[in-house]
C-alpha cells in the first residue's frame, strides 16, 4: 500500500486562516454532549415522609421545626444538590463545525501527521496484522478513516488500544484533534478537500 504524507502545501490555503477558537468551541460542545447528566438529588419536597410536625412549636427549648425531611435532618432532602433536568447542550453552527475540522487537519498537516492510502483493508481480520499496520507508521496513536468499514477490518482494529477505526461520515474535529495522527483513504481525503 502506497502512503502519501500530507504537508501544509497539500491543503487549501483557507485551512491555514481558520481561527483556533472554532476548534475550542466544537470540542467544548462535543464534550458537553458526552455528559451522562445522571447526578440527581431529592429536595425536601421530593423525600418521602415528614408530614407530621416533629415537636411542638413552643415550650421545648429547641428550635422550631415543621418537618423531619428538612435539609438539616438526617434522611432529609438535599439543599442545592445536582438535578438531572439540566441541559448541557451547546450549539455549534454547521459552518463552525467545518472550520473546526479544517483547523484540526491543518494542525496535523503542519506536523506531517496525516497519511493518505489508496485503501485500508486487513483481509485476515487478525488484530496482530492491524497492529503491525499501525506499527509501520511509527506513530503513538492513530485515527483510521475508511469510506466504508468491512467486517474483517473492523474485527482487526476492534481491540487495538492505540488505533480507532471510523467511517468517513463519523470524522469530526474532536476526533481529529484527539489523535496523534490520522490515516485516511484517498477517496475520503479527496472528497474532504473538494467539499471545503
10-residue stretch averages of pLDDT, the chain, 196 residues long: 76 88 95 92 94 94 95 95 91 93 92 90 91 90 92 92 92 93 91 75
- Spatial distance between the Cα atoms of 96 and 154, rounded to a whole number of angstroms: 31
- Among 87, 104, 121, the domain-final residue is 87
Residue 191's domain comprises 3-35+94-195
Torsion angles phi and psi, residue 45, rounded to 5 = -80, -15
Task: List, in order, residues 6 or more apart from 136 with CB less than 8 Å away.
Answer: none
- Return the bridge partners of 142, or none: 163, 181
Same domain (yes/no): 141, 115? yes
Cell 482494529, residue located:
157
Spatial CB neighbours of 52, under 8 Å, sequence gap ≥ 6: none
The residue ranges of DSSP E strands in 42-100, in sequence order, are none
Q: How much of the chain is helix, strand and coil, in % rounded to 5?
A: 40, 10, 50
Q: Is the pTM of this model over 0.85?
A: no
Q: Are 83 and 145 within one domain?
A: no
Residues 106, 173 share a domain: yes
Half-sphere exposure at residue 101, Cβ-oriented, CA atoms within 13 angstroms: 19
What pLDDT score was predicted for residue 13? 85
Q: Which of 117, 113, 116, 109 is nearest to 9 (CA)?
A: 109
Task: Indicate if 126 and 147 belong to the same structural domain.
Answer: yes
Distance CA 15, CA 144 (A): 21
CATH number at residue 105: 3.40.1370.10
In this prediction, residue 196 carries a pLDDT of 55
Q: What is the pLDDT of residue 1?
A: 58
Q: Tell whether 23 and 108 lie within a shared domain.
A: yes
177 and 82 in a single domain? The answer is no
Under DSSP, is residue 104 helix (H, G, I), strand (E, B) or coil?
helix
Quick one: 47 and 99 in the same domain? no
Amino acid 61: pLDDT: 94
Among the candidates 87, 114, 148, a domain finishes at 87
**58 and 115 inside one domain:** no
Amino acid at each position: 500500500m502506497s502512503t502519501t504524507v500530507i504537508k501544509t502545501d497539500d491543503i487549501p490555503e483557507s485551512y491555514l486562516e481558520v481561527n483556533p477558537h472554532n476548534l475550542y468551541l466544537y470540542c467544548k460542545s462535543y464534550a458537553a454532549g458526552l455528559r451522562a447528566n445522571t447526578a440527581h438529588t431529592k429536595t425536601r419536597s421530593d423525600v418521602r415522609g415528614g408530614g407530621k410536625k416533629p415537636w411542638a412549636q413552643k415550650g421545648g427549648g429547641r428550635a422550631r421545626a415543621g418537618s423531619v425531611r428538612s435539609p438539616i435532618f438526617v434522611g432529609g432532602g438535599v439543599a442545592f444538590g445536582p438535578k438531572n433536568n439540566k441541559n448541557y447542550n451547546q450549539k455549534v453552527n454547521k459552518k463552525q463545525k467545518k472550520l473546526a475540522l479544517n483547523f484540526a487537519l491543518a494542525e496535523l498537516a503542519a506536523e506531517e501527521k496525516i497519511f493518505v492510502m489508496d485503501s485500508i483493508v486487513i483481509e485476515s481480520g487478525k488484530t496482530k496484522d492491524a497492529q503491525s499496520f499501525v506499527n509501520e507508521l511509527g506513530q503513538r496513536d492513530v485515527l483510521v478513516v475508511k469510506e466504508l468499514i468491512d467486517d474483517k477490518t473492523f474485527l482487526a482494529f476492534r481491540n487495538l488500544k492505540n488505533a480507532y477505526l471510523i467511517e468517513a461520515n463519523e470524522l469530526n474535529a474532536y476526533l481529529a484533534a484527539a489523535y496523534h495522527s490520522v490515516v485516511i483513504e484517498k477517496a475520503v481525503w479527496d472528497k474532504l478537500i473538494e467539499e471545503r
